[in-house]
Structures are given as C-alpha cells and as structure tokens.
Amino acid sequence: MEFLPLFTQLTGKPCLLLGGGQVALRKARLLSKAGAKIRVVARDVLPELAALAEQSGGEVRVGEFDEADLGQVFLVIAATDDHALNQHVSEACHQRLLPVNVVDSPELCSVILPAIVDRSPLVIAISSGGKSPVLARMMRSRLESSIPASYGRLANLASRFRDAVKAKFGDIEDRRLFWERVLQGPIAEMVFAGKDAVADQMLAKEIDQAGPQVGGEVYLIGAGPGDPDLMTFKALRLLQKADVVLYDRLVAPEIVEMCRKDAERVFVGKKRSDHAVPQDGINQLLIDYARQGKKVARLKGGDPFIFGRGGEEIEQLALQHIPFQVVPGVTAAAGCASYSGIPLTHRDYAQSVRFVTGHLKDNSINLPWAELVHSHQTVVFYMGLVGLPSICDQLIAHGRSPDTPIALIQQGTTPNQKVVVGTLSNMVAKIAADPVQAPTLIIVGEVVQLRSKLAWYEDRDLAQPQL
Ligand code: SAH
C-alpha cells in the first residue's frame, strides 16, 4: 500500500493553498467544507477564492511564494500551473516533513486527496494512489448510486446512542453484535423512511430491553423451483450475507453459486428415502452454526412453508432464541404451472386449487380422496411420481372421470423441463413408455387442457435457456 488512508481533522487549522485559479478554487471549497483556515498565496487570485479564504478566517497574499509561507501551517496544497514552482514547494515541504499535495503530480505528493462519497458523518474515500484518478472517480459514481443519502442520518443515530449502548453492554463483542443488528434491521429502515424520531424511540426501547447478544442468525430462504431468476431480491440479499449455506438436492447449483465466494457450503441431502442428513441433524446444524455467531442461509426448494418442513426448522430456532427470518419462494406448483402454460385456476374450469402430497406412507397414500374429485377443482400433487398409479386409481375409484386431464412436469422451470400430458386412465402407461426424472409435479384437472392454447410454442419444454 503506497498511501495509508487517514482522515484529517482540519477545523480551525491553517492550510496553505498556492495558486489562485479554478483548480485552487476547487481545493479551497474542500478545505472550507472541512473547516480549515485557508491561506492563499498566488500572483493572481479569483475573487471567489479570495472571499472563501477570508470567510474561513484565513487570508490572501498576492505575490510570489516564499519559504516563510510554510511556517505555522498544517497542510500545503500546490495548485499552480508552474511546474518548477510546484516542485520547489514539494521539496521544501518534504524537507520540513510537512504534508504536501501537488495537484495532478502524484510523484510530488506526500498526501493525496481521495475521491469522496460524502454522507457525513459517514465519509468514504477512494484513491488509486494517483495512478488513475478516473478509475477512482468511476468507483465513486458507483458508490454514490448504491449508498442511500440517508446513511449519514443512520450514522448520526448511532452517534446519539453510542454512550447509552456502551453503558448497557460492557463487552465490546456484544456492542458490535447489537449495532450490527440495529443498523441492518427495522430501526435502520425507519431512518431510511425519514422517520428519525420513531427510530430514536425504537432504539431507546431496544437498548432498554436487550438481553445477551447472539451474533448468529438463520435465513430460511425459499429458492424457487429451479430457474434462478425466480428468486426474490430479498432471498438474494440474505443469501449474499450468509457465512454458511445449507442446501439440498432441490436447490439449483446456479443458485448455490450466488452465495459469497468465502461462504462455507454444506450439502444436507435429501433424495427420496435417502436423507444425507436427517431432519433432526439439519435443525441441529442450524442451531450450532448460529451459536458460533454465523449468519446461516438455509436454502429450500420452492417455498419453505409448502411441504418444506420449514416450520419444524424454525420451531427449534425459536425455542433456542435464535433470530431467524423466513423468505417466501415461488412454490413448484406456481413455477411449473406458469412455465408449462397451465393456469391453476380459471373462471370456467377451476375455482379452487389444492396442493397435496403424494408421498407414500406404508405403500399407500392417505388422502381425503372424496374431497379431491370435485370437478371444478385443480389438484396438485407434490412428491407424487412413485404413487402415480395409486393416485390415478383412487381418483377414478372415488368418482373422477377417467378422461380427466392430468399433466406431469419434470424439473419444471429448468432447462430440463418436460411436460407429459394425458388422462387419469392412460397416464401410467405414458410414463412407462416415456420415463421422467425427479423432481416431478402432477397437476390434475380440466385446466390442463388449456396448455394447448397457452403454451407459447410447442417445443418450449425442450431445453430453453430462459425457461
Ligand atoms: N417446498 C417445495 C416443495 C418440496 S417437496 C416447494 O414449495 O416447491 C418436493 C417436491 O416438490 C418434489 O417431489 C416435486 O413434487 C416438487 N418439486 C419441487 N421442485 C420441482 C420442480 N422444479 N419441478 C417439478 N416438481 C418440483
């Protein structure tokens, strides 16, 4: 590192500015923002610059630079277009160990002025060490557009409560965890919404009621059915915060790839009846990682609360007082339906839709069949491939017409999506002739017919990158 960034307190300190033109004026504006007393020495001085120097409590001397000007100043900025003079000033300052900045000549500088993103009291300084000011300015533009203006007010909020938090938490680590939570949580959102007074009240209450701090946190994230574009912004934001990511077979590899490069990735299963890590083990892992102070993302296929056992995982977290957030996801039924052109409801064909599990228990499926055979209802079976023969038989046995349309969607929303359409009476034979691969979703009901009208084009189930 050629230059160590330091933030300098200039209030009331005399600073020498050599040069009286536009460049010097720009530097004078900066110095004046920082409260410095500006002494200008130049052959010619712009009136605006002279006024700024006087307002700052400094002065202007019209004439040639003299080494005596270097006495009793804290910082020197040379902004003249006279290279020989700039060089002379730089050497004189180096001899006296006086910090000097020469505009546009990094080799003559002992200090450089960075590009600044000003969200006072939060200030971000960017420097390329004088190698490429344009690059530094580009970085600044990026930060300018991504850091809300209200961050300065957030820093002021922290400053107002700094002593109170210090008094509450003797331990420095507890203080860090407390502030991390506050600055990323609902109190910060209040500041962003311009409600500083409410944020103050909330923070005062939070300090009052805060118990021992737990650094870890768990995000139970619905990752959607496969296509990474179906993740929510919130899912992506929290995933990228995580130190550890737990995922299973249903989560697309491209989605796991979106986590931070330094995040630990843990595969936790599960294939049908082949649980790599049993559910209790997953619950325990979440607790253990969070207890180590880590931010843990638990990625779940689809939506965590739809046949996802998400409820069980957070029940344990709640019992252990571990903070958590649940992020909903696009469930397989919604994803497969839209990507295969089958609306789950339709004014003419289905006024309701039911999501049921076709998972076999003791070689049979326990479902209220009589309720599933109403004609104006769509029934979606999750985990139904193995039980398909039984599902078709039972629906027919309980009164649904053998001609009822049924669709089986393999790996919906992914490039491997495949849709097989048939009727309750011929679907089993169709699948035997044209095998499919898990995960698959089954949709039963008249709405399946609409696919022929609503699928955008016939072969859209074949590999389509954007599917
Ligand atoms: N929580 C998930 C469901 C988990 S149960 C969700 O909301 O989608 C697992 C079952 O979901 C699979 O057996 C399959 O029936 C269905 N499933 C998940 N992703 C799927 C996909 N991309 N295509 C078809 N079915 C899928």
pLDDT at 193: 87
Domain ranges of the chain: 1-113, 150-209, 217-330, 333-454
Instruction: Give one DSSP letter per residue of 204-260, joined into a string.
Output: HHHHHH--S----EEEEEE-BSS-GGGS-HHHHHHHTT-SEEEE-TTS-HHHHTTS-
Q: In this structure, are residues 303 and 222 in contact, taking their beta carbons and an 8 Å threshold?
A: yes
Q: What length is written for the chain?
A: 467
Q: Are 153 and 196 in contact (CB under 8 A)?
A: yes
Q: Is the pLDDT of residue 466 over 50?
A: no
* Domain 1-113 indexed as CATH 3.90.1150.10: no
**Structure tokens of 413?**
């929303």
- Ligand 1 pocket, residue 412 CB under 6 Å: yes
Distance from Cα 383 to the centre of ligand 1, integer Å: 7
221 lines ligand 1 (CB under 6 A): no
Q: What is the pLDDT of residue 467?
A: 27
pLDDT at 460: 47
Residue with CA closest to ligand 1 atom 9 = 383
pLDDT at 274 over 70: no
**Residue of higher predicted confidence among 311 and 15:** 15
pLDDT tens, 33-74? Answer: 999 999 999 999 999 999 999 999 999 999 999 999 999 999
Q: Which residue has the higher pLDDT, 355 or 143?
A: 355
Buried b (16+ CB within 10 A) or exposed e, 76-99: bbbbbeeeebbeebbebbeeeebb
pLDDT tens by residue, 374-426? 989 999 999 999 999 999 999 999 999 999 999 999 999 999 999 999 999 99
Q: pTM (2 decimals)?
A: 0.61
- 333-454: in CATH 3.40.190.10: no
Contact 406, 427 (CB under 8 A): yes
pLDDT on residue 172: 84
Calpha distance 235→172 (Å, rounded)? 31
Helices (H) and strands (E) in the chain, counts: 17, 17
Q: Which residues contact 363 (CB under 8 A, 6 or more apart)?
A: none
CB 19 within 8 A of CB 78: yes
Q: 217-330 belongs to which homologous superfamily? A: Tetrapyrrole methylase, N-terminal domain (3.40.1010.10)
Tell me what pLDDT residue 14 has.
Answer: 97
**Is the pLDDT confidence value at 459 over 80?**
no
Query: What average pLDDT does the segment 294-303 reach?
Result: 95
* Spatial distance between the Cα atoms of 364 and 367, rounded to a whole number of angstroms: 9
Q: What does the pLDDT read at residue 419? A: 95
Pair 413, 467: CB distance under 8 Å: yes
Q: What is the pLDDT of residue 214?
A: 66
User: To the nearest whole number, what is the mean pLDDT of the chain?
Assistant: 90
Determine the distance separating the centroid of ligand 1 and the alpha carbon of 433, expressed in angstroms. Answer: 23
Output 308 or 77, whichever has higher pLDDT: 77
Note the pLDDT of residue 130. Answer: 80
pLDDT at residue 269, as a whole number: 80
| Segment 344-353 mean pLDDT | 95
Q: Which distant-in-sequence residues (6+ apart) come within 8 Å of 198 by Cβ?
A: 190
| Ligand 1 pocket, residue 339 CB under 6 Å | no
